[in-house]
Amino acid sequence: MIEIKNVSRTYSDGQHTEALRDVSLEIRRGEFLSLTGPSGCGKTSLLRLIAGLDSPQDGELLMEGRAIDSPCHERGYVFQQAALFPWKTVEENIAFGLRARRVYREKKRLVGEYLSLVGLDGFSKSYPHELSGGMVQRAAIARALINGPKVLLLDEPLGALDAFTRIELQNVIREIWRKTATTVVLVTHDVDEAIYLSDRIAVMTPRPGRISEILTVNLPAGRDRDSEDFIGLRRTMLRKLTINN
């Protein structure tokens, strides 16, 4: 569905940073793909390229055969820091995509639906600063989902959360993926999170980032973090990450 072909990205404002070198990756329709690697290896850079927020110096990115050259509501994006609009209520934040595209039909129903999908019923009239970190991320996910994107790009949405909230939200994301059948690309540092959620895990090398390995997770749908297979996979992955470093 999305093809990334020999993409390179070097930042040259200020100092010269080669963030991505010759990255190739294919993202399949409907899959849950995690992107992981050490800090600063270019995960955000790659996700921004996929979103169309940035363009590569070399190589090309295609979605359904067409070049990705600008952001589009078909590729939903959730930022590392949620970037909710502080002057809008949760409800208005979530409705933003619909209003921006002038889709007013069924707005109310859709907003209500996505509010409950992420478990924010009762907070529709709150402003972002009145929410906890986890709730802010829930709202940001709902805001991206309401456009019915073909791909949902998540940049460490759970990175700043405590372990409890994290696990809770992992289940929310899993449910959403199951219900909406969108393709999901999740950037994460957390090995458990990647194994728990993904069909495939792309591991990146330290800067300049490249895809060093793609692991396929062959675990059943209801994943148990304590099962033999899970623990085995975690051990393999940790070994790969440490070898790379």
Partner 1 sequence: MDRNKKYWKPKSNLWFFLAVTALAAALATDVLVPNVQETDTLYYQAVLAASIAVLLILFGIPVFSSGLGGRLYHYSQFIAAAGLFLTFLDLLTTKSNILKLPFFPGPARIVEVLFTERGMLLVCTAHSLRLFFAGLAGGVVLGIVTGVLTGWNRQWNYWLFPVIKVAGVIPPVAWIPLALVVFPSSFYAGIFLLTVASWFTIAFMVSTGIASTPKEYFEASRTLGADERYLLFHVAIPNAAPNIFTGIVTSAGMCFMMLVITEMIGAKAGLGWYINWAKAWASYDKVYASIVIMGVAFCIILAVINVFRSYFLRWQRGIVQ
Ligand X SMILES: Nc1ncnc2c1ncn2[C@@H]1O[C@H](COP(=O)(O)OP(=O)(O)OP(=O)(O)O)[C@@H](O)[C@H]1O
Instruction: Give the footprint of Mg ion on this chain (CB under 5 A).
Output: 44
Q: How far is the CB of 236 from ligand X (least distance, A)?
A: 21
**Binding region for ligand X (CB under 6 A) out of 12-20, 170-178, 190-198, 219-227:** 12-20
Looking at beta carbons only, is 87 or 164 nearer to partner 1? 87
**C-alpha span between 120 and 139 (Å, rounded):** 7
Residue 33, interface with ligand X (CB under 6 A)? no
Residue 182 binding partner per list partner 1, Mg ion, ligand X, none, with a CB distance cut-off of 5 to 8 Å that depends on partner kind: none
Q: How far is the CB of 204 from ligand X (least distance, A)?
A: 7
**Burial class (CB within 10 angstroms; exposed 0-12, middle 13-18, buried 19+) of 167:** middle
Residues 6+ apart with CB under 8 A from 95: 107, 110, 111, 146
Q: What Rg, from alpha-carbon coordinates, does the chain have?
A: 18
Q: How far is the CB of 101 from partner 1 (least distance, A)?
A: 4
Query: Cβ(45)–Cβ(214) under 8 Å?
Result: no
**C-alpha span between 96 and 2 (Å, rounded):** 26
Among 45, 89, 147, 198, binds ligand X (CB under 6 A): 45
Residue 226, interface with ligand X (CB under 6 A)? no
Residues 6+ apart with CB under 8 A from 151: 1, 2, 27, 50, 63, 74, 75, 76, 182, 183, 184, 185
Among 41, 153, 194, 241, binds ligand X (CB under 6 A): 41
**Binding region for ligand X (CB under 6 A) out of 36-44, 92-100, 161-169, 218-226:** 36-44
Looking at beta carbons only, is 139 or 211 nearer to partner 1? 139
Q: How far is the CB of 91 from Mg ion (least distance, A)?
A: 29
Query: Cβ(61)–Cβ(5) under 8 Å?
Result: yes
Among 2, 19, 120, 153, binds ligand X (CB under 6 A): 19
Looking at beta carbons only, is 32 or 77 nearer to partner 1? 77
Query: Cβ(151)–Cβ(158) under 8 Å?
Result: no
**C-alpha span between 41 and 57 (Å, rounded):** 17
Which residues bind to ligand X, rule: CB under 6 A?
A: 11, 13, 17, 19, 39-45, 207
